[in-house]
Chains A and B, each alone.
Chain A
Amino acid sequence: MARSADDLKVNGSMRLSGGVYAATVVNGALEINGRLECTDLKVNGMLSVNGNLKAGSAVINGKLMVEGSVDAARLDTRGKTDIEGGAKIGEIRVEGALDAEGAVEAEKIDIRGHFMSEKGCNAEEFRSIGRFKVEGLLNAEKIKCELYGKSYAEEIGGMEITITEGQGLNKWLKNIFPGFNMLDGRLIAGSIEGDVVKLEYTEAGIVRGTDVYIGEGCDIMLVEYKRDFKAAPGSRIKESRKI
Chain B
Amino acid sequence: MDEELISKKELLELKGISYGQLYRWKRKNLIPEEWFIRKSTFTGQETFFPKAMILKRIEKIMDMKEDLSLNDLAGVFSPGLPGIHMKKSELLSRNIISPGAMEIFSRAFGAGEELDFDGVLICFTAQKLLSSGDIGADECASAVACLKDNYAKFQGKGCELVILRKLGVALCLLSGASNELLFESRAKVIFRLSMNTCVEELKLIL
Q: Name A's B-contacting residues (CB within 8 A).
A: 122, 139-141, 157-160, 190-191, 193-195, 205-206, 208-210, 221-222, 224, 243
Contacts and interface: CB of A to CB of B under 8 A. Distances in A.
A205 B19 contact: no
B20 A195 contact: yes
B19 A195 contact: yes
Interface residues of B, number: 14
24 contacts: A122-B27, A139-B26, A139-B27, A140-B27, A141-B24, A158-B19, A159-B18, A159-B19, A159-B21, A159-B24, A160-B20, A190-B45, A193-B19, A195-B18, A195-B19, A205-B45, A206-B45, A208-B9, A208-B19, A210-B18, A221-B44, A222-B43, A224-B9, A243-B13
A139 B18 contact: no
B191 interface: no
B23 interface: yes
B19 A210 contact: yes
A94 to B, nearest CB: 20
Contacts of A141: 20, 23-24, 27
Contacts, number: 50
Contacts of B18: 159, 195, 210
Contacts of B22: 157
Nearest to A196: B20
Interface in B1-38: 9, 13, 18-24, 26-27
Contacts of A222: 43-44
B9 A159 contact: no
B20 A191 contact: no
Contacts of B26: 139, 157
Which DSSP category, helix, strand, loop or mixed, fits chain B's interface?
Answer: helix
Given A157-B19, A159-B21, A191-B45, 5 more contacts: A141-B24, A157-B22, A193-B23, A208-B19, A243-B9
Contacts of B23: 139, 141, 157-159, 193-194
Interface of B: 9, 13, 18-24, 26-27, 43-45
> Which 9 A-B residue pairings sit nearest by Cβ, starting from the closest?
A159-B20, A157-B23, A195-B20, A193-B19, A122-B27, A195-B18, A205-B44, A139-B23, A139-B27
A194 B27 contact: no
Contacts of A224: 9
A206 B24 CA distance: 20
Contacts of B13: 243
A206 B44 contact: yes
A193 B45 CA distance: 12
A206 B19 contact: no
A210 B43 CA distance: 19
Nearest to B18: A195
A194 B20 contact: yes
A219 B96 CA distance: 59
Contacts of A139: 23, 26-27
A114 B102 CA distance: 56
Nearest to B22: A157
A158 B45 contact: no
A120 to B, nearest CB: 10
A206 B9 CA distance: 13
A208 B47 CA distance: 12
A177 B88 CA distance: 78
Contacts of A210: 18-19
Contacts of B44: 191, 205-206, 221-222
A175 B141 CA distance: 78
Contacts of A243: 9, 13
A114 to B, nearest CB: 23
A109 to B, nearest CB: 13
Nearest to A124: B27
Contacts of B21: 159
B43 A158 contact: no
Chain A CB within 10 Å — which of B13, B19, B21, B26 has the most? B19
A158 B24 CA distance: 7
A191 B27 CA distance: 17
A158 B20 contact: yes
Contacts of A158: 19-20, 23
